[in-house]
Amino acid sequence: MSSEIVIAPSILAADFACLGEEIAAIDAAGADWIHCDVMDGHFVPNISFGADIIKAIRPLTKKVFDVHLMIAPTDPFLEAFAKAGADVITVHAEAGPHLDRSLQAIRALGKKAGVSLCPVTPESAIDYVLDRVDLVLVMTVNPGFGGQSFLESQLDKIARIRTMIGERPIRLEVDGGVTRDNAAAVAAAGADTLVAGSAVFRGKRSVDYAGNIAAIRIAAEAGRVPKLQNISAPSMRAGEAVRIR
């Protein structure tokens, strides 16, 4: 995967009353990707937003839209998120029995396919889909809410998945409780893509957001595993929108 660390602010922590301004602010503040947390009140105990909101904010930035679906079922909604402007669509391995089919469907829509694992799900859940994915997302909180504490237990799992990925062009993303204080450990375990909600949207808009993003990025760069640095995947470079539609 790319040698670059990707920082993906989760807009779940944004001020929804002025979401457009918040998108512009994190874009200007140096966000690489925009992480969109979609929750259905069924797969997770919270409801956030759906494809119409993503479609509305899509024109406001050229950054990669990283759409994390915490919904079940997933398949009936994949086309709507693709049409709304998602670049990466990530589904949960726990969301249904036919993960392989969901991942094929995402790629058939011309999008990058991601698979996410809840904290209790072992890495073996993705043994047979590694050649179908562009991204693996390790949840470091139980999905459903922002602002929770990072689960240290997941560091071993991140490291094991990094080994499983090998030389494949797959991004390894970590989501939940990521801060400037644990970003080095996350990167040292092998992650190259860091989602952060509360730790980015602290303070008063762009100036603070820029400092928050930079602090996470600097910590991650300092902690990262040296052997990752020569692996490249041009279509998923930091900040580059993957427009496949």
Contacting residues toward Zn ion, per CB under 5 A? 37, 68, 175
By CB under 6 A, what part of segment 171-190 binds ligand DX5?
175-178
On whether the CB atoms of residues 114 and 135 are closer than 8 A, the answer is yes
At closest approach, how far in Å is the CB of 78 from ligand DX5? 18
Pick what 50 binds: ligand DX5, Zn ion, none; C-beta below 5 to 8 Å, kind-dependent.
none
CB closer to ligand DX5 out of 13 and 135? 13
Q: Which residues of 197-226 are buried (b: 16+ CB within 10 A; e: fewer)?
A: bbbbbeeebbeebbbbbebbbebbeebbee
CB closer to Zn ion out of 68 and 162? 68
Pick what 20 binds: Zn ion, ligand DX5, none; C-beta below 5 to 8 Å, kind-dependent.
none
Question: Under 8 Å CB-to-CB from 17, ≥6 apart: which residues?
Answer: none
| φ, ψ of residue 34 in degrees (nearest 5) | -110, 115
| φ, ψ of residue 218 in degrees (nearest 5) | -65, -45
At closest approach, how far in Å is the CB of 197 from Zn ion? 8
On whether the CB atoms of residues 28 and 61 are closer than 8 A, the answer is no
Near ligand DX5 by CB under 6 A: residue from 133, 146, 158, 187: 146
37 as an active site residue: the answer is yes
CB closer to Zn ion out of 3 and 198? 198
Query: In terms of Cα–Cα distance, which of 50, 34, 54 is closest to 42?
Result: 50
At closest approach, how far in Å is the CB of 68 from Zn ion? 4
x/- letters, 13..52, toward ligand DX5 (CB under 6 A): x---------------------x-x---------------
118 binds ligand DX5 (CB under 6 A): no
The Cα–Cα gap between 19 and 25 comes to: 10
**CB-closest chain residue to ligand DX5:** 197
Point out which span in 98-106, 128-136, 138-146, 227-235 binds ligand DX5 (CB under 6 A).
138-146
Q: 172 by DSSP, 3-state: which? A: strand
40 as an active site residue: the answer is no
β-strands 135-139, 171-175 pairing: parallel
At closest approach, how far in Å is the CB of 148 from ligand DX5? 6
Beta bridge partners of 135: 114, 171
CB closer to Zn ion out of 66 and 240? 66
Q: 58 by DSSP, 3-state: which? A: helix
| Binding residue count for ligand DX5, defined by CB under 6 A | 22
Q: How many helices (H) and strands (E) does the chain have?
A: 7, 8
Positions touching ligand DX5 (CB under 6 A) are 10, 12-13, 35, 37, 68, 70, 141, 143-144, 146-148, 175-178, 195-199
Enzyme catalytic residues:
37, 175
